């Protein structure tokens, strides 16, 4: 009897372990990916010709940002989009730019509109907001699948555009690859 | 008495099974990485099973192709700027870059196109002679969005925001493919059109050959 019950329990465990192994596997971006992308891009921007050529005496540059344009297969919430760009601007390498490079940061226009709605004020708030440059971010991905194997290459493009001339003054890419095995319905 | 022993045995066996199942289940499920870690990230150059058998270009090949085309294009465009515009700083906007291949997915094409554009803009050769601007619709949208009613007060607003027509050009391009068993040839044709008279001042093809391995 004991032998039988042991055998039954082993079979059950085997089945359960197999079920666990086919747990859904995903190539979606993780929080660690967001951190890697933002840290890397902040470092590259800091070292770019666009910034290294600037001094405290350079003409004042007022930078604003736009939310991420997500053209990838991953679904990003508004919060996640803002998290990615905010992390670039909040990186330790970027914080010292105010004085050393004569750069100011102003509230993004989307956030300003939300703020105005929230405080129910339409006049005079950010009246003198005049950004000279905007940072844009585009997230793309290319997907490859073969059977149960899936690969997604994510490519994030950051670029800074001068306002109002529309001149592209800086751009860079960062790519990362994620793999997964298994179907979403497993 | 005999029945009592039998029932006890059955209960103890069931308890043993239940305990074993609970233990192995926990152990089995814990062996998986928790969701949200970077366990699935691999270096860019890694050839993955998903790519190898997909029948499409590997992402690494796309990146390499974009680097090669951008390097060649930047050298050619820089030479042209010196030759045809007398070394003046010319303003270029990206016009139509169209995917006319038979099998390249739009996402792949846009990925390749944007990397070429970005690498071109980053080239020191190119930046010495050329500055890139957004197209007119995007420039105006950006100006209205960011500056709104105060747009007129911005430095450089108005006439200064329109490029000088004599040194203004559009970079257009098409991408084609030739598909033959085992080999796929992609070629990108780039043309630079001077805005002033519509003359094509530069035209060149760049080829990317892809030999398909596996199925």
State the ipTM, two decimals: 0.72
Residue A160's closest CA among A68, A65, A72, A92? A65
Q: Burial, B179: exposed, middle or buried (Cβ in 10 Å; 0-12, 13-18, 19+)?
A: middle
Size of interface A-B (CB pairs under 8 A): 192
Check A142 against B156: CB less than 8 A apart: no
**What average pLDDT score do residues B151-171 get?**
68
Q: Which domain holds residue A133?
A: 30-180
Q: Which two tokens mark B81?
A: 């700027």
Answer yes or no: is A174 within a domain: yes
Residue of A nearest to B52 (CA): A146
Residue of B nearest to A35 (CA): B38
Answer yes or no: is A117 within a domain: yes
Q: What is the pLDDT of residues B96-128, one digit of tens each?
A: 889 998 888 999 999 999 999 988 988 888 888
Give the one of A20, A168, A173 whose C-beta lies nearest to B132's C-beta.
A168
Q: How much is the pLDDT for B38?
A: 39
Answer yes or no: is A130 within a domain: yes
Q: Which residues of A touch B147 (CB under 8 A)?
A: 130-131, 163-164
Residues 3-62 of A with CB under 8 A from B: 4-6, 8-10, 12-13, 16-17, 20-21, 23, 25-27, 30-33, 36
Answer yes or no: is A70 within a domain: yes
Answer yes or no: is A18 within a domain: no
Residues 108-167 of B with CB under 8 A from A: 108, 110-111, 114-115, 118, 121-122, 131-135, 138-139, 142-143, 145-147, 150-151, 153-157, 160-161
Alpha carbon distances (Å) from B42 to A30, A147, A172, B23:
13, 19, 21, 33
**What average pLDDT score do residues A75-94 get?**
90
Q: Which residue has the tokens 């604003």?
A: A64
Distance CA(B113)–CA(B104), nearest Å, equals 12
A interface test, pick of B48, B126, B150 with most A CB neighbours within 10 Å: B48
Give the one of A138, A165, A179 whose C-beta lies nearest to B156's C-beta.
A165
Residues 6+ apart with CB under 8 A from A50: A160, A169, A170
Answer yes or no: is A22 within a domain: no
pLDDT band at A121 (very low <50, low <70, confident <90, very high): low
Alpha carbon distances (Å) from A120 to A116, A125, A127, B147:
6, 11, 15, 21
pLDDT band at A170 (very low <50, low <70, confident <90, very high): very high
Q: Which CATH number is A108's domain given? A: 3.40.50
Residue of A nearest to B53 (CA): A146
Give the one of A8, A31, A130 whose C-beta lies nearest to B154's C-beta.
A130
SS3 B43: coil
Number of domains in chain A: 1
Q: Which of A9-23, A54-68, B122-136 has the lowest mean pLDDT?
A: A9-23
> Is the model more confident about A69 or about A124?
A69
Whether pLDDT at B33 is above 50: no
Answer yes or no: is A34 within a domain: yes
- Whether the CB of B42 is below 8 Å from some CB of chain A: the reply is yes
Evaluate whether B42 touches A179 at the Cβ level (below 8 Å).
yes
Answer yes or no: is A77 within a domain: yes
Q: Is the pTM of this model over 0.95?
A: no
pLDDT band at A96 (very low <50, low <70, confident <90, very high): confident
Evaluate whether B167 touches B91 at the Cβ level (below 8 Å).
yes
pLDDT band at A97 (very low <50, low <70, confident <90, very high): confident
């Amino acid at each position: 009897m004991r032998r039988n019950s042991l055998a039954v329990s082993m079979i059950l465990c085997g089945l359960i372990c197999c079920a666990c192994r086919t747990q859904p596997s995903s190539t979606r971006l993780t929080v660690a990916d967001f951190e890697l992308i933002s840290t890397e891009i902040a470092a590259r921007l800091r070292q770019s010709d666009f910034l290294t050529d600037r001094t405290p005496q350079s003409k004042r540059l007022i930078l604003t940002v736009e939310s991420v344009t997500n053209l990838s297969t991953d679904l990003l919430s508004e919060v996640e989009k803002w998290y990615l760009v905010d992390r670039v601007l909040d990186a330790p390498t970027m914080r010292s730019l105010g004085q050393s490079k004569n750069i100011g940061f102003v509230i993004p226009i989307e956030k300003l509109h939300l703020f105005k709605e929230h405080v129910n004020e339409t006049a005079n708030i950010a009246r003198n907001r005049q950004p000279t440059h905007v940072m844009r971010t585009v997230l793309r991905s290319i997907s490859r699948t073969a059977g149960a194997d899936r690969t997604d290459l994510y490519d994030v493009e950051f670029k800074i555009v001068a306002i109002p001339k529309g001149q592209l003054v800086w751009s860079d890419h960062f790519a990362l690859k994620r793999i997964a095995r298994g179907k979403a319905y497993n | 008495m005999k029945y009592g022993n039998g029932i006890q045995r059955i209960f103890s066996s069931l308890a043993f099974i239940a305990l074993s199942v609970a233990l192995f289940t926990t152990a089995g499920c814990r062996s998986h990485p928790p969701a949200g870690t970077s366990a699935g990230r691999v270096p860019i150059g890694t050839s993955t099973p998903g790519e190898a058998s997909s029948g499409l270009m590997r992402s690494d090949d796309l990146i390499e192709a974009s680097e090669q085309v951008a390097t060649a294009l930047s050298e050619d465009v820089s030479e042209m700027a010196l030759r045809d515009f007398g070394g003046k700083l010319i303003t270029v906007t990206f016009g139509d870059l169209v995917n006319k291949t038979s099998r390249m997915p739009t996402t792949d094409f846009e990925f390749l196109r944007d990397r070429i554009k970005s690498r071109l803009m980053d080239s020191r050769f190119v930046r010495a002679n050329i500055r890139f601007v957004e197209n007119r619709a995007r420039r105006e949208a950006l100006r209205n969005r960011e500056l709104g009613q105060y747009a007129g007060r911005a430095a450089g607003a108005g006439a200064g925001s329109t490029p000088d027509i004599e040194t203004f050009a559009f970079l257009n391009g098409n991408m084609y493919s030739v598909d033959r068993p085992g080999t796929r040839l992609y070629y990108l044709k780039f043309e630079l059109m001077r805005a002033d008279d519509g003359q094509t001042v530069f035209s060149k093809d760049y080829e990317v050959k892809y030999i398909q391995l596996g199925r």
